[in-house]
A and B are shown apart, each in its own frame.
Chain A
Amino acid sequence: MSRAKFNNAKIKGICCAVPNNPISIEEMVKPYFDENYVKKTINIIGAKQLYYAKEGQTTSDLGYAAAEKLIADIGWKKQSIDGLIFISQTPDYILPATSCILQDRLRLPITTLTLDINLGCSAYIYGLFLAKQFISARTCKRIILIVGDTISRKVSPKDKSSVLIFGDGVSATAVEFSDKNSLSSFILKTDGSGATSLIIPAGLNRYPSTKETRSEKKDQDGNIRTDEHIHMDGMEIFGFSLREVPKILEEVIELNGWTSMDVDKLLLHQANNFMLKHIAQKAKIPMDKVPLNMDSFGNTGGATIPFLICDKLKDEIKINKLRVVMSGFGVGLSWGAAAMELSDVFCSEIIYV
């Protein structure tokens, strides 16, 4: 099993950015769906407002803004940064890697290690794991981890399985060496047999873009999208999450030497509120330990956990020690969980770019 423990790397600060372009879901889908159905579903899923990238705005534009503010807020000298990890499914180009572009744009030294990774819902857990791994191996001392997407470009407004859920947002997290930090534990898993449950079927190399892949089709549930739009089989994803997430939570809590009683907050990938409540119930973690903020930002893919921290735990983790368990799960299928103590973490105000 892929598992790791670290005791010499800590999260120093987090900053999150959304496009300055709020979208009311109810307004957006009015032309396509029954009003009562939409109201009821919004109520259950939880997302009310989303942010959509403006014309010409990319994931790296948001990542750049978040990282620039974060570095200034925590007072890091750029020359002291030696790692930049960018995890996204909506990079700026097929090539070169967006992390290379960000290294230059952020004016980080050329001694910086940069890396692009293609992951979604599980991205933050994998990203923190990698950052801590590089630091623990003394490869790097200070890493900027940028996680997020501008997925709105791939969402069909006529597909209720995605338009009521996904929004844009990007996070930047500073991770650094610390010899007085407490233990953190990670578990990482993959099941590629579920790849088609959450997929953009066409538009790249397997099925290149053609007139056919760009034409709208109606599925058995009445949703309309093209093969170049994101397609989620909600039932499969729900079944997978319900089966795997409670299990990995239990495993990571044990790996960190805790019991579920020790956990102050459970930070779940904000997939949808309905699912999170069922996961928490199955994992026997009371909902007062499970913050939710789907209503404000929707599901921003890999960025939901840092958004949740900046939005809901900002003041608490500046002063107090908070024992948290995080889990990201979804597209891949890829999932992971981490247990750690957060303290003295600086959360910048969420910025609107």
Chain B
Amino acid sequence: MTNFEKIALLEEMMELGEGSLSEETVLADIEEWDSMAALSLIFLMSENFGKELKGPQIRKLKTIKDIIDIMV
């Protein structure tokens, strides 16, 4: 999966328009990035990458790039 596709997945997850996010986007600046979005990310990682994401890992994420890096 390309980074472009991963960003598209994250945009869809947070119900954001296409092109709203880039690798540099800081999570704290996204209004839609909240505790429910974190749960959506846990589901997304489980469904698409077979990975179980834990709370402490999520709290360490700072940018969209950080999320992309674990989407493997």
Contact = CB atoms under 8 A, between A and B. Distances in A.
B41 to A, nearest CB: 9
Interface of B: 34-36, 38-39, 42-43, 46-47, 52-55, 58-59
Contact of B52 (A220, A233, A243, A275): A243
A239 B59 contact: no
A239 B36 contact: no
A221 B55 CA distance: 12
Given A37-B34, A242-B46, A243-B46, A275 B39 contact: yes
Contacts of B34: 37
Given A161-B35, A238-B39, 11 more contacts: A160-B35, A220-B59, A234-B35, A235-B58, A239-B42, A239-B52, A239-B53, A242-B43, A243-B52, A274-B36, A274-B39
Interface in A115-174: 160-161
A117 B35 CA distance: 33
A278 interface: yes
Contacts, number: 41
Nearest to A223: B35
A235 B38 contact: yes
Contact of B55 (A41, A160, A236): A236
A160 B36 CA distance: 12
A233 B55 contact: yes
A243 B34 CA distance: 22
Contacts of B59: 220
Contacts of A233: 55
A81 to B, nearest CB: 43
Closest 7 CB pairs of A and B: A235-B55, A278-B43, A238-B39, A44-B36, A239-B42, A242-B46, A236-B55
Interface in A2-52: 37, 40-41, 44
A37 B54 CA distance: 23
Nearest to B46: A242
Query: A44, A160, A233, A235: which has the most chain B beta carbons within 10 Å?
Result: A235
Interface in A259-298: 274-275, 278, 282
Nearest to A44: B36
A274 B37 CA distance: 11
Nearest to B53: A239
Nearest to A240: B52
B45 to A, nearest CB: 10
A234 B58 CA distance: 12
Given A242-B42, A278-B43, A236 B35 contact: no
A246 B58 CA distance: 23
15 contacts: A41-B35, A220-B59, A234-B35, A234-B39, A235-B39, A235-B42, A235-B58, A236-B54, A236-B55, A239-B46, A239-B54, A239-B55, A242-B42, A274-B39, A282-B47
